[in-house]
Amino acid sequence: MNDIGVIENGSILIKNGKIIKIGTFDEIHSEVVLEDYEIIDAKGKTITPGFVDSHTHVVFGGYRADEYTWRLRGDSYVDIMNRGGGIASSVTKTREASFDELVSSALSRLKSMVRFGVTTIEGKSGYGLDFETEMKQLRVMKKLDQMQPIDIVRTFLGPHAVMPEYKGREMEFIELVNKEMLPFVKEENLAEFVDIFTEKNVFELEESRVYLEKAKELGFKIKMHADEIYPLGGAELAAEFGATSADHLLKVSDKGIEMMKENDVIATLLPLTAFSLKEEYARARDMIDSGLAVALATDLNPGSCFSESIPLVIALATLYMNMTPEETLAALTLNAAAAIDKADVIGSIDEGKQADLLIHEFDSYHYIAYHFGVSSVEKVIKKGKIIYDKEGC
């Protein structure tokens, strides 16, 4: 993750949205007639791959700003739940929101994400917890994928929480999801991945296993919310099922880290959520030193982390998670692409890959972390076309 392969005075040749040649300016200039190409001048700038936000809940109804204030005053999660807050509040508002309302609100978030240099995201359902609303969220993401430039990889997160009517009957809810929702999602091609919130007092290992077995049988790729609050063994379960990624991992065990490494599971860490909840950050240094591939993502959602700020992710990773600027850049690009099984297409500046690129305003990648909390992104290029230009705003 520290070997990011810097090319000084570099040039990139793009055709039909793909990178066809990289090298120094002199190497590229000797092989092509520059007048035959549109030139994007990046002299004195830094070019990196586009950022990949590999864990978001971008589609939801309503906000929970009042709950954030309650938390700041010291109210507990249980207190907030007793007031009708928490995920139940988002579920109610998402069920009430129309398809067009969800498209409109998510579109505004995506426009903000582009300004931070995000060119691909993963988006989850999970604020419906019933058939109609879960499918509505997935269809909204499918629509958004067609109407704006950011690529959206869809994940079905039906088992995101336990609604009061299923408390104590979690397995019944899993069986309902397995029978009615998963087959429909697969048949309609509404999601590539599935996810589950594997956590104590939510969906524990037994329920998670039943769900993942059905998902794997149907051919879904697997992601998991794992070991966020308690060291339940979610990372180990993710390794057992060959998950593409296990996310959060604030309480992951040493065994879980080792098993994930052995089974090529990407560790997706979400420092904005730990920051918002005033929790200890995930053990990124231990994971990287053990040889485990680490990705970073925002976890944008209306409750525990209402932020799409990539600059803040970078600041927290470098200052409080002991990650180097190089590791942080790799975690937001190539490793994040691997966390959504797209590393063969995006995530690095390689010949044959999609031309998703960022032009940063400084002449060294070191400034991306050094100018902390501020976006260095000047231009965003998606599939070879400029989709954001800071100077043109």
Measure Cα distances from 328 to 127, 164, 289, 296 in Å.
Answer: 30, 40, 14, 8
**pTM greater than 0.75 (yes/no):** yes
Mean pLDDT of 329-341: 98
Helices 131-147 + 99-115 axis angle, to 10: 50
Residue 392: is its pLDDT beyond 80?
no
> Which has more confidence, 165 or 205?
205
Taking CA 61 as the corner, what is the angle to CA 58 and CA 63, rounded to the nearest 5 degrees? 90
Mean pLDDT of 193-210: 96
Q: Which residues contact 4 (CB under 8 A, 6 or more apart)?
A: 326, 329, 330, 365
Q: Which residues contact 135 (CB under 8 A, 6 or more apart)?
A: 128, 181, 184, 185, 188, 190
* Gap between the Cα atoms of 294 and 61, Å rounded: 31
Report pLDDT digits (tens) over 92-123: 999 999 999 999 999 999 999 999 999 999 99
Structure confidence at residue 78 (pLDDT)? 62
Identity of the residue numbered 231: P
Closest CA to 384 of 5, 136, 119, 173: 119
DSSP 279: P
- In whole numbers, what is the pLDDT of the chain averaged over residues? 95
SS3 of residue 205 by DSSP? helix
Residue 239: is its pLDDT beyond 90?
yes
Reply yes or no on domain 51-338 having CATH 3.20.20.140.
yes
Residue 84: is its pLDDT beyond 80?
no
Mean pLDDT of 201-215: 97
Structure confidence at residue 126 (pLDDT)? 97
Report pLDDT digits (tens) over 248-274: 999 999 999 999 999 999 999 999 999
Task: Locate 289 and state its tokens.
Answer: 């030193």
Q: Domain ranges in the chain?
A: 10-48+348-392, 51-338
What's the fold here for domain 10-48+348-392? Urease, subunit C; domain 1 (2.30.40)
Structure confidence at residue 80 (pLDDT)? 79
Residue 393: is its pLDDT beyond 70?
no
Q: Which residues contact 239 (CB under 8 A, 6 or more apart)?
A: 246, 256, 259, 260, 262, 263, 265
Structure confidence at residue 82 (pLDDT)? 72
Mean pLDDT of 130-153: 98
